[in-house]
A and B are shown apart, each in its own frame.
Chain A
Amino acid sequence: MPTSSMFLAQQPGQAPDVDYVAILPVLIIFGAAALGVLLEALLPRNQRWSVQVGLTLVTIVGAGLAFGYYLSDAPENGTTTLAGTLSIDQPALFLWGTLLALGFGAVLLIADRTVEPGGAFVAEAAIRPGTIQDRAQVGSASMQTEVFPLTLFALGGMMTFTAANDLLTMFIALEVLSLPLYLMCGLARRRRLLSQESAVKYFLLGAFASAFFLYGLALLYGYAGSVKLADIANAAAGTDRSDALLFGGLALLVVGLLFKGSVGPFHAWTPDVYQGAPTPVTAFMAACTKVAAFGGMLRVLTVAFESTSWEWRGVLWAVAIASMVIGAVLGLTQTDVKRMIAYSSIAHAGFLLIGTIALTDQGLSGTMFYLLAYGFTTLAAFGVVSLVRDSTGEATHLSQWAGLAKRSPLVAWTFTFLLLALAGIPMTSGFIGKFVVFSAALQDGMAPLVVIALVASAVAAFFYLRVIVLMHFSEPAEDGPTVSVPGAFTTAAITMGVAVTLLLGVLPAFALDWASGGGFAS
């Protein structure tokens, strides 16, 4: 039994070496986020929006430049820094690039003030819904500009999460990315009761899931005597330890991760939060949180638990099937566009999980390509959703979308293209994404799973096509919604999403090569 003198006898820890160039993008994001909070306190109200938007966009571009500079001569096999807590390897770099690009698009949507005066966010979060002040804030031109630093904090957390090489770093990053998102969900300008309700639900369920993640971490610490992924892998290779700790810990850990990725039976929060949150925040969550969650899951399963994969893989088979079936079948019954895309994201999470549990190089690169493709498509889709409006705000009920092609052919065709990409029709990135993931799964001997996935895709294609038919072949209602003419920001975000969706569908080689650049370093 160790005594307290043993603790005292330990040497004072040496400061770990830090590869500042490698982690510069993350440092820039977090630094600017902290600066944004300061500006919020110092600037007068009427200057905040322009300064915060400028700062946030410049920050993401700056982080992208720093990232590009490091990428140009990054070590082939990756590197670990900060005493091995962060692993900057090829998958991490690919996901960082994806997150920065998607984050840039999401910030453009968040910053837009042309579709609605003052933007999609509440003028002051402390105003009670339903009061006179609340009715006044709906028409006012100001917004709660803390959204921008919160977005940067979440983005920095996501980038750290995909590079985290031990479970403690992963947990801290998980909280850094989640806590701002909980708040952002509750900041919608209109329908504030729904928005606040989605924030409460997301917060309580999210905190519940992180408690599971944490207990899994503690059990694995007990099992391996360390929370480093490589040490857990080494410990699992030996056989003289308690399997109960290993598999109990793994199960709890994976539950936490699956929750964040909105997979299968752990999806309960997804439709409510996607519907209630302000649409730009939904776009940010749907695109970026998924990238972060599956990036983390890929790393944990590949680096720490590959040697025991035959023990846990069957369970994740069942989870993937559940996720695809729930997403595809319940998606059929939805009458709200945002909820429908939420169920579509649950089905896509099932497809992503298939690539994740393949644990081969093809599985890794296919899943990462799928994340990139899906992120841009869903970002643009929510951008389009924010344009169709009536006097009470966004018109998200499907019946209101009837005959949209007659009112605004451009918006209807754009949305049609994005829905086809979500369904996985050739010439879109969705097709290539599904193709690489399913062929990786086939090569890894998961043929039954691929068959189920194809059936689920076919079922899901039905509800995308239903919306397309509704938009193009129905008569518009008399008092139907109008389509707002988007400003530069929203136009840029939607154009970016559509362009990438088309480009990755026609010329996927560049992104596929980058995604298969190398494996994890630990």
Chain B
Amino acid sequence: MTPTYYLVLSALLFSIGAVGVLVRRNAIVVFMCIELMLNAVNLTLITFGRINGGIEGQVMAFFVMVVAAAEVVVGLAIIMAIFRTRRSASIDDTNLLKY
């Protein structure tokens, strides 16, 4: 099986995540879509690591996982704070700042 399939799969996953960020309205779901994008990148990194024959790609995937975990901590804290105030996680409701 050629590694190209994995690259196509990861590109698809990344696109699904990006479209999800743009069309979904719940902050948690938007955030999950961003995580999907990061994991698509992990798949790309590992595939290229396999093609290049080194461990560098896998090591980078670990770094990405750590960063994604840190991002979850910060992101959920912010989303929780705004949810407790408004009783809603919809990003359409957060519309006080404009023009």
Interface residues of A (CB under 8 A from B): 1-2, 6-7, 10, 125-126, 128-130, 168, 171-172, 175, 179, 182-183, 186, 192-194, 196-201, 203-204, 207-208, 211, 214-215, 217-219, 221-222, 225-227, 271-272, 275-276, 333-335, 339
Contact = CB atoms under 8 A, between A and B. Distances in A.
Contacts of A175: 67, 70-71
B85 A196 contact: yes
Given A193-B96, A196-B85, A211 B74 contact: no
16 contacts: A2-B53, A7-B55, A175-B67, A175-B71, A179-B71, A197-B94, A204-B31, A207-B31, A207-B71, A208-B34, A211-B14, A215-B37, A215-B40, A221-B45, A275-B97, A335-B99
Given A203-B74, A275-B97, A221 B55 contact: no
Given A129-B85, A204-B91, A225-B52, A183 B44 contact: no
A201 B97 contact: yes
A211 to B, nearest CB: 4
A214 B81 CA distance: 28
B74 A219 contact: no
Top 6 A-B pairs, shortest CB-CB distance: A2-B53, A222-B48, A211-B37, A218-B44, A272-B97, A197-B94
Contacts of A275: 97
Given A128-B85, A214-B64, A197 B78 contact: no
A198 B97 contact: yes
Nearest to B58: A7
A171 B38 CA distance: 12
B53 A194 contact: no
B78 A222 contact: no
Contact of A183 (B50, B74, B97, B99): B74
A126 B17 CA distance: 31
Contact of A196 (B18, B50, B78): B78
A505 B94 CA distance: 42
A487 to B, nearest CB: 29
B93 to A, nearest CB: 9
A125 B37 contact: no
Contacts of A194: 96-97
B51 interface: yes
Contacts of B71: 175, 179, 207
Interface residues of B, number: 47
Nearest to A168: B60
B57 A221 contact: yes
A202 to B, nearest CB: 9
Contacts of A214: 37-38, 41, 64
B15 to A, nearest CB: 10
Contact of A218 (B45, B91, B94): B45
Contacts of B75: 182, 203-204, 207
Contact of A227 (B40, B60, B94): B60
A467 B99 CA distance: 18
B77 interface: yes
B8 interface: no
Nearest to A224: B52
B2 to A, nearest CB: 10
Given A182-B74, A211-B41, A200 B91 contact: yes
Contact of B30 (A126, A182, A204): A204
A196 B84 CA distance: 11
A195 B99 CA distance: 16
Contacts of A222: 7, 44, 47-48, 51-52
Nearest to B50: A2
B95 to A, nearest CB: 8
B32 to A, nearest CB: 11
B48 A218 contact: yes
B57 A172 contact: no
A197 B44 contact: no
Given A129-B85, A182-B78, 11 more contacts: A7-B55, A192-B85, A196-B81, A197-B97, A208-B37, A221-B48, A222-B51, A227-B56, A275-B97, A333-B99, A339-B99
B21 interface: yes
B67 A197 contact: no
Nearest to B98: A272
A198 B98 CA distance: 11
B52 A207 contact: no
A215 B85 contact: no
Contacts of B74: 179, 182-183, 203
B79 interface: yes
A200 B81 CA distance: 9
B12 interface: no
Q: Which of A215, A226, A271 has the most chain B CB atoms closer than 10 A to its own CB?
A: A215
Q: Which of A1, A130, A175 has the most chain B CB atoms closer than 10 A to its own CB?
A: A175
Contacts of A171: 63, 67
B82 A168 contact: no
Contacts of A130: 85
